[in-house]
């Protein structure tokens, strides 16, 4: 595998790469799992892909993927390392930028300081063809990621009333903070295609009525026991997922590329 520093320094034809933010209004909806699957699919398509943990000192993608970071975000914050020195190769054409907890990064960082740190890290975007950002827990991290270099956002929801309410809140805040950012919906853990369509219909009804905007359905990921088991085994998600899940992820990537082409990156 070539070192990441040998990747192109600037995007072809002066274009920025597509940075997709995967976010949710609440935890426990499978956002990190979906981020990983999207990144794996992107790398399979031959794109140099960065999986970016946007949790800032609370991240667990490195645990999910069975990798041990040598350095953390505090090294960048204190000027002791460049962002590229944090990158961890995962597989061919796929790298992870981790955000491990427990390091010496002040927990008292305010929103502006956290935005500044994210901005420094986002300089890595130019080295990749595709960036998948796990928006981190809560609304603040998702909105920070959405307003710094993003070309689109996938809001992840599950078929539960609380999850739908939180998903709408995220879409509303993203609309206010980045009104031109393309936003689509992914429904996770569905039992049927009709269940996904019902969730989409309810959320889009609200976005049309109150925000005057469409909310495209990017796709739905089925409830799969094999996928839950894979998520419990560190590193297993880098291997093949169940066929039904892989098919769903391919659909999401196709629709996301149509929704948020690289040329539209902010």
Per-residue confidence band for 216, with pLDDT thresholds at 50, 70 and 90: very high
Identify the CATH assignment for 19-261 out of 3.40.50.2300, 3.40.190.10, 3.20.20.450, 3.40.50.300.
Answer: 3.40.50.300
Per-residue confidence band for 2, with pLDDT thresholds at 50, 70 and 90: very low
User: What is the predicted pLDDT for the residue at 263?
Assistant: 44
More confident residue, 25 or 73: 73
Q: What is the DSSP string of the chain?
A: ---GGGS-SS-GGGPPPEEEEEE-SSSSSSHHHHHHHHHHHHHHTT--EEEEETTSS---HHHHTT---SS-HHHHHTTSS-GGGG-EEEETTEEEE---SSSS--TT--HHHHHHHHHHHGGGGGG-SEEEEE--SHHHHHHHHHTSS-SEEEEEE-SSHHHHHHHHHHHHHHHHH-TTS-EEEEEEEESSHHHHHHHHHHHHHHIIIII-----EEEEEE--HHHHHHHTSTTGGGSPPPHHHHHHHHHHHHHHHHHS-GGG--
User: What is the predicted pLDDT for the residue at 103?
Assistant: 59
Express each pLDDT in 7-48 by its tens digit: 443 444 444 468 999 999 878 899 999 999 999 999 999 999
Map out the domains of the chain as residue ranges: 19-261
pTM beyond 0.85, yes or no: yes
Express each pLDDT in 110-136 by its tens digit: 889 999 999 999 999 999 999 999 998
User: What is the predicted pLDDT for the residue at 261?
Assistant: 52
């Amino acid at each position: 595998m070539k070192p990441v520093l040998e990747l192109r320094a600037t995007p072809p034809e002066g274009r920025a790469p597509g940075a997709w933010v995967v976010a949710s209004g609440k935890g426990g909806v499978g956002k990190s799992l979906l981020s990983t699957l999207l990144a794996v699919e992107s790398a399979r398509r031959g794109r140099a892909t960065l999986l970016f943990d946007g949790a800032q000192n609370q991240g667990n993608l490195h645990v999910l993927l069975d990798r041990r970071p040598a350095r953390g975000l505090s090294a960048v914050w204190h000027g002791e390392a460049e962002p590229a020195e944090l990158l961890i190769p995962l597989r061919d054409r796929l790298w992870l930028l981790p955000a491990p907890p427990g390091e010496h990064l002040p927990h008292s960082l305010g929103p502006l300081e956290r935005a500044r740190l994210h901005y420094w890290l986002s300089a890595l975007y130019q080295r990749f063809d595709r960036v998948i950002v796990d928006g981190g827990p809560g609304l603040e991290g998702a909105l920070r990621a959405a307003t710094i270099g993003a070309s689109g956002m996938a809001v992840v929801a599950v078929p539960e009333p609380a999850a739908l309410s939180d998903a709408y809140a995220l879409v509303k805040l993203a609309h206010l903070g980045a009104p031109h950012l393309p936003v689509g919906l992914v429904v996770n853990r569905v039992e049927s295609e009709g269940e996904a369509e019902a969730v989409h219909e309810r959320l889009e009804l609200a976005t049309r009525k109150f925000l005057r905007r469409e909310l495209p359905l990017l796709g739905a990921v089925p409830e799969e026991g094999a996928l839950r088991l894979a998520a419990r085994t560190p590193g297993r998600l880098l291997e093949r997922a169940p066929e039904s899940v892989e098919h769903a992820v391919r659909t999401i990537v196709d629709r996301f590329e149509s929704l948020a082409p690289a040329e539209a990156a902010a």
